[in-house]
Amino acid sequence: MTNQEHVELGRQYVMNTYGRLPIAFVRGQGARLWDSDGKEYLDFLSGLAVNSLGHCHPKVVQAIQKQAEELLHVSNLYWIEGQNKLAQAIVNNSFADKVFFCNSGAEANEGAIKLARKYAKKTWGEEKYEIITMEHSFHGRTLAALTATGQRKYQEGFAPLPTGFRYVPFGDLKALAEAINSHTCAIMIEPIQGEGGVNIADKTYWEGLAQIVAEHNLLLIVDEVQSGMGRTGKLFAYDHYGLQPNIMTLAKALGGGVPIGAMAATDEVASAFSPGDHASTFGGNPLVTSAGLAVMEVMLEEGFLSRVQEMGSYLQEQLNKMAQKHSSIVEVRGLGLMVACQLDREGTAIVSSCLEKGLIINCTAGKVLRFLPPLTINRHDIDQAITILDTAFMAQGNG
């Protein structure tokens, strides 16, 4: 089938929930994808930070193939070997003591909201239920996660939304402190706002946030769905800021391409859940946890995360050189291989031009070009991407 044939078939049978581009990818390897018409692309989006080891990483493929021959699913009525081992790996490399598995970042965040409320009510009383989140945040599309998301555009048309959420500007300690009241039980925050524009707060903000959490005896929930699993050059982005969360959510890169989410918590907070309080039929089944284990093993190899930092610095250096040439680039920012170019104009035309030339990136928050290449990316591929991007800027007259 051609790209156009895929488009026609999809339009006939698939719900219209995405503004899809007229391309159907059929094969991937490393940082490259091929569409139905045989065109090759350099992937600097990684399936929205999912394929962080690149496409079809041999260790992930081998783990999935081996597990598929043995056991796919049994349900969480029983203990699952791969689930136990993946939970152990997450605990051994984070603040957490216990892990709950689900299928997506939205589910992980829903679980975190439920756990925070359950713990708060059991510990502090029925009046504790409100969670403060940040403007321009993104926590998912399910109803509570959508309400936690501090962007009205995603909430329009779905009222009435659940109660119990307040929003404050990201990076504003004064507004955060003023938003706390007798109902507040937790602060939920992304270490880096991905969908909101790759927004990064300085160290002073995180130090102040930690102090506020301690002074008001609040829970701290870090949403690491996009920033976690090596994306920033540390396994979890909260480590950059010296934070001590109570709850963390993961998904995207955790499975290397298969759907898995996780919510990790301290023993004290996790103990608020009893059997029946929360569940997920497919969560943490043998197939997805075998893939997750393979991903963890690769990311924990000596030198892997330091190389992510090295390649992230190189990418930012090259983008900053471009910024000197193209005045429409206002700022380059990022951490590790979670990188963005802030523009002074809409960025969709640049994204389209890059796609035509064989480079996959995306635009978020209207004027932000977002780069999420595989964590295995090399200098040669970065150089190629920069060349294409430079050509796209020139073609659009973005001098």
88 assigned ligand-binding residue: no
When the pLDDT of each residue in the chain is averaged and rounded to a whole number, the result is 97
105 assigned ligand-binding residue: yes
Q: Identify whether residues 67 and 49 lie together within a single domain.
A: no
Q: What pLDDT does 279 receive?
A: 97
280 assigned ligand-binding residue: yes
Q: Look at residue 390 and give its three-state secondary structure.
A: helix
Q: Identify whether residues 106 and 250 lie together within a single domain.
A: yes
Domain that holds residue 293: 60-299
Q: Identify whether residues 249 and 188 lie together within a single domain.
A: yes
Distances from the Cα of 335 to the Cα of 200, 244, 371, angstroms: 8, 20, 11
C-alpha–C-alpha distance, residues 221 and 165, integer Å: 14
Tell which residue, 248, 194, 245, has the closest CA to residue 223.
Answer: 248
364 assigned ligand-binding residue: no
CATH number for the domain spanning 335: value is 3.90.1150.10
115-137 mean pLDDT: 97
226 assigned ligand-binding residue: yes
Tell which residue, 293, 350, 277, 232, has the closest CA to residue 60.
Answer: 293
pLDDT tens-place string over residues 234-283: 999 999 999 999 999 999 999 999 999 999 999 999 999 999 999 999 99
Q: What pLDDT does 395 receive?
A: 87
What b/e string do you get for 124-149 counting C-beta neighbours within 10 Å, with b at 16 or more? Answer: eeeebbbbbbbbbbbbbebebbbbbb
DSSP characters over 55-117: BT-HHHHHHHHHHHTT-S---TTS--HHHHHHHHHHHHTSS-SEEEEESSHHHHHHHHHHHHH
Q: Identify whether residues 313 and 375 lie together within a single domain.
A: yes
Let me know: does 374 contact 53? Beta carbons within 8 Å.
yes
Examine the fold and report which residue of 249, 281, 299 is the final residue of a domain before the chain moves on: 299
Which one-letter DSSP state was computed for residue 238? G
Q: Identify whether residues 287 and 344 lie together within a single domain.
A: no
Q: Identify whether residues 165 and 89 lie together within a single domain.
A: yes
Q: What pLDDT does 396 receive?
A: 78
213: which 2 tokens? 């959490």
pTM above 0.75, yes or no: yes
C-alpha–C-alpha distance, residues 151 and 132, integer Å: 14
232 assigned ligand-binding residue: no
On the question of pLDDT at 398 being above 70, the answer is no
Q: Identify whether residues 64 and 183 lie together within a single domain.
A: yes
CATH number for the domain spanning 148: value is 3.40.640.10
Q: What pLDDT does 248 receive?
A: 98
On the question of pLDDT at 397 being above 90, the answer is no
Q: Identify whether residues 139 and 199 lie together within a single domain.
A: yes
Tell which residue, 225, 310, 223, has the closest CA to residue 50.
Answer: 225
381 assigned ligand-binding residue: no
pLDDT tens-place string over residues 43-92: 999 999 999 999 999 999 999 999 999 999 999 999 999 999 999 999 99
150 assigned ligand-binding residue: no
Q: Identify whether residues 92 and 181 lie together within a single domain.
A: yes
The residues facing 184 across adjacent strands are 130
Q: Identify whether residues 113 and 227 lie together within a single domain.
A: yes
Examine the fold and report which residue of 299, 316, 346 is the final residue of a domain before the chain moves on: 299
Alpha helices per DSSP H over the chain: 3-13, 46-49, 58-68, 81-92, 105-124, 143-148, 152-155, 173-179, 203-216, 267-270, 286-299, 304-325, 348-356, 379-395
Examine the fold and report which residue of 280, 299, 318 is the final residue of a domain before the chain moves on: 299
Question: How many distinct helices (H) and strands (E) make up the chain?
Answer: 14, 15
On the question of pLDDT at 5 being above 80, the answer is yes
Q: Identify whether residues 225 and 79 lie together within a single domain.
A: yes
Domain count, the chain: 2
C-alpha–C-alpha distance, residues 203 and 34, integer Å: 41
Let me know: does 303 contact 332? Beta carbons within 8 Å.
no
Residue whose entry in the numeric block shows the structure tokens 């937790």: 186
Q: Identify whether residues 361 and 255 lie together within a single domain.
A: no
177 assigned ligand-binding residue: no
Cβ count near 266 (within 10 Å) = 18
148-175 mean pLDDT: 97
Q: Look at residue 259 and give its three-state secondary structure.
A: coil
225 assigned ligand-binding residue: yes
364 contacts: CB under 8 Å, gap ≥ 6: 194, 195, 196, 197, 198, 340, 370
pLDDT tens-place string over residues 177-203: 999 999 999 999 999 999 999 999 999
158-182 mean pLDDT: 97
